[in-house]
Amino acid sequence: MENIFSFSLFIDAFPKLLSRLDITLYIVLIALIFGLLIGSYIALVRLYKMPVLSQLATVYVSFIRGIPILVLLYIVYIGLPVLVEGLFHVNINRWDTLIFVLIAYIVNSSAFLSEIIRSAVAGVEVGQTEAAYAVGMTRWQAFRRIVFPQAIKIALPALGNNIVSLLKDTSLAYTLGVIDIIGVIKAISSNTYRSLEAYAAAAIIFFVLSLLLEQTFKRLEKRLGTKHVVSGQE
Amino acid sequence: MIEIKDLHKSFGEQEVLKGINLKVEKGEVVVILGPSGSGKTTLLRSLNFLERADKGEITIGNVQVNCKHVTQKKILEIRRNTAMVFQLYNLFKNKTALENIMEGLIVARKMAKEEALKISHYYLEKVGLKERADAYPSQLSGGQQQRVGIARALALNPEVILFDEPTSALDPELVGEVLSVMRKVAKEGRTMIVVTHEISFARDIASRVVFMDGGVIVEQGRPEEVLLRPKEERTKKFLKRILPAADYSI
């Protein structure tokens, strides 16, 4: 049995993997925060049909959504320094690899999140905006105080799903040499010539994290749901 | 005072308003009647720029705009001189009944919170919903929602309140409570422009009835004149079609 699956290696793997969990969570958090900011901007550009920008945004979103994250990682890692060198004559080859990884994940999640935000905002009835205008609010006030809070509620389930996929997608960051959870597995397996135990441990860690996220979002939805019902009319 | 001069509006090829001229004095209750598609709702929505008229001049209180060259700032000024009650109520779904009334006062009129709270409670009581202050729109009946909608409009103390078919979406048994609140409002001397199919309301409350058809004002005058002794053929036809039903419901 020890030859097939070593429990001691399995147990030993946990502290080693968890010691790098912070990198994984860091990537998720940064990609989420900046992805939401940039994604919101892209969504608004498209919702308000700003000329030129709106077409650019549409192309950006469908392009980014169409390429695998692994390819995007390499394009950013190899392509960005070439682009920056060519445009600004600045050499960024020595930047920390993690920065390239973060940029790739931000770009990726901004495209996906912009679609979620866009459909959520479009899902808020026009009458809500009209009523806000009718009491004398500016566009921005109407958006911030009336439309956005309702859109968040509509977006919540999709947002939760997206964060879970983002979490799992970070497992490709190691390909550029970032030592996250998967990076540690690579190190363990080259030391012990065994990797199944470490991968099994990683599976459990990712599973538990996903479960926690799911539950958090469920609870969040429920809390917002009791506060006000967005859909449906009497 | 409200003055509309030569207002035009088209949706694509179709001209919906073909030069509307209308003057409404302070304290007047003007009811606009007309078949569907006559442009009455578009006229109402042009007044607070939820629709943008193509041509014409609108004066509401101390704000005058030429619809051809209008700035965002002017639109905001006009809107802050008006309030609207919607057919589908359009209460802010993420706010309680009380917050719905406060929202415009605090955000758009920059009123201090205590004052806004006092005013909001006052008007909520006025429409008979003191006990439902903390209810969200989804927890209120259609009639209750519309009464909050009216309170929201009243609280802003605008030059004019625009009513866009305020009872059309309500179940028949809920129409009465909304109409009786509107009657109360009218008797207080508020300036109102009301688009409605409620002939009884027009007959009892209106200081003037305006009949629209095909994007123009066909006829206007005191309710007993327009409703009982209409001069124009189109008005007669329209009234003949709807009056029996309306009389029956009273």
pLDDT at A3: 75
Share of chain B above pLDDT 70, in %: 97
Q: How far is B231 from chain A (nearest CA, A)?
A: 36
pLDDT at B21: 96
Higher model confidence: residue A89 or residue B102? B102
- pLDDT of A69 over the 50 cut: yes
Give the confidence band of A189 by pLDDT, cuts at 50, 70, 90: confident
CB–CB contact A229 B138 (8 Å): yes
Give the confidence band of B17 by pLDDT, cuts at 50, 70, 90: very high
Which residues is B8 bridged to in the sheet?
A: B18, B55
Nearest to A130 among B50, B142, B152 (CB): B50
Whether the CB-CB separation of B87 and B164 falls below 8 Å is answered with: yes
Instruction: Report the half-sphere exposure of B4 (CA within 13 A, side-chain side).
Output: 23
pLDDT at B248: 46
CB–CB contact A233 B88 (8 Å): yes
Which residues is B160 bridged to in the sheet?
A: B82
Nearest to B178 by CA among B192, B188, B168, B187: B168
Q: Could you tell me if A215 lies within 8 Å of chain B, comparing CB atoms?
A: no
Q: Which residues of B touch A146 (CB under 8 A)?
A: 92, 94, 103
Q: How far is A226 from chain B (nearest CA, A)?
A: 10
Nearest to A135 among B88, B108, B145 (CB): B108
Whether the CB-CB separation of B20 and B56 falls below 8 Å is answered with: yes
Nearest to A127 among B88, B95, B152 (CB): B88
Query: If residue B145 lies in a helix (H) or strand (E), which one and from where to where?
Result: helix B142-155
Q: How far is B11 from chain A (nearest CA, A)?
A: 18
pTM of the model: 0.82
Mean per-residue pLDDT over chain B, rounded:
93
For the beta sheet containing B216-221, the strands, ordered from the edge strand earlier in sequence to the opposite edge, are B82-85, B160-164, B192-195, B29-33, B208-213, B216-221
Residue where the block lists tokens 């939760």 = A160
pLDDT at B75: 96
Euclidean distance between CA atoms A24 and A208, whole angstroms: 14
Give the confidence band of A1 by pLDDT, cuts at 50, 70, 90: low
pLDDT at A2: 63
pLDDT at A94: 82
Query: If residue B234 lies in a helix (H) or strand (E), which one and from where to where?
Result: helix B233-249
A10-16: long-range contacts at Cβ-Cβ below 8 A with a sequence spacing of 24 or more? A10/A197, A10/A198, A10/A200, A10/A201, A12/A197, A13/A185, A13/A188, A13/A197, A13/A198, A13/A200, A13/A201, A13/A202, A14/A201, A14/A205, A16/A184, A16/A188, A16/A198
Rounded to an integer, the average pLDDT of A85-109 is 90
pLDDT at A232: 42
pLDDT in tens, B98-136: 999 999 999 999 999 999 999 999 999 999 999 999 999
Whether the CB-CB separation of B1 and B23 falls below 8 Å is answered with: yes
Q: How far is B94 from chain A (nearest CA, A)?
A: 6
CB–CB contact A227 B136 (8 Å): yes
- Our measurement of the distance from residue B35's CA atom to the centroid of its chain's CA atoms, rounded to an integer in Å, reads 17
A 10 A CB-CB count for B23 gives: 12
Instruction: Please state which of the ranges A5-19, A103-117, B5-19 shows the lowest mean pLDDT.
Output: A5-19
pLDDT at A95: 86
CB–CB contact A128 B80 (8 Å): no
CB–CB contact B94 A230 (8 Å): yes
CB–CB contact A131 B108 (8 Å): no
Q: Could you tell me if A229 lies within 8 Å of chain B, comparing CB atoms?
A: yes
Tell me, letter by letter, the H, E, C secondary structure of B29-97: EEEEECCCCCCHHHHHHHHCCCCCCCEEEEEECCEEEECCCCCHHHHHHHHCCEEEEECCECCCCCCCH
Q: Which residues of B touch A134 (CB under 8 A)?
A: 48, 50, 79, 82-84, 86
Nearest to B50 among A133, A229, A233 (CB): A133
Residue where the block lists tokens 């920056």 = A84
CB–CB contact B91 A131 (8 Å): yes
Helix boundaries (H) for chain A: 7-18, 21-47, 53-66, 69-74, 80-88, 97-122, 126-134, 139-142, 148-169, 181-192, 196-227
Q: Could you tell me if A150 lies within 8 Å of chain B, comparing CB atoms?
A: yes
Domains of chain A, by residue range, sit at 9-224
Rounded to an integer, the average pLDDT of A183-201 is 88
Euclidean distance between CA atoms A198 and A193, whole angstroms: 11
Q: How far is A94 from chain B (nearest CA, A)?
A: 49
Pick among B75, B84, B90 to test the A interface (most A CBs inside 10 A): B90
Nearest to B107 among A145, A232, A234 (CB): A145
Euclidean distance between CA atoms A187 and A195, whole angstroms: 9
CB–CB contact B93 A230 (8 Å): yes
pLDDT at A187: 86
> A9-224: what fold?
MetI-like fold (1.10.3720)
Interface residues from chain B to A (CB-CB < 8 Å)? 48-50, 76, 79-80, 82-84, 86, 88, 90-95, 103-104, 107-109, 136-138, 140-142, 145, 152, 156
Rounded to an integer, the average pLDDT of A194-219 is 92
Residue where the block lists tokens 């920065």 = A99
Q: In degrees, to the nearest 5, what angle opens at C-alpha A149 toward C-alphas A147 and A155?
A: 95
Give the confidence band of B250 by pLDDT, cuts at 50, 70, 90: very low
Q: Could you tell me if A67 lies within 8 Å of chain B, comparing CB atoms?
A: no
Size of interface A-B (CB pairs under 8 A): 77
pLDDT in tens, A45-64: 999 888 999 999 999 999 99
Name the residue type at position A160. Answer: G
Q: How far is A142 from chain B (nearest CA, A)?
A: 9
pLDDT at A190: 86
> Please, what is the end-to-end C-alpha distance for chain B in angstroms?
32
pLDDT in tens, B19-49: 999 999 999 999 999 998 899 999 999 999 9
- pLDDT of A234 over the 70 cut: no
Pick among A154, A224, A234 to test the B interface (most B CBs inside 10 A): A234
Rounded to an integer, the average pLDDT of A116-124 is 94
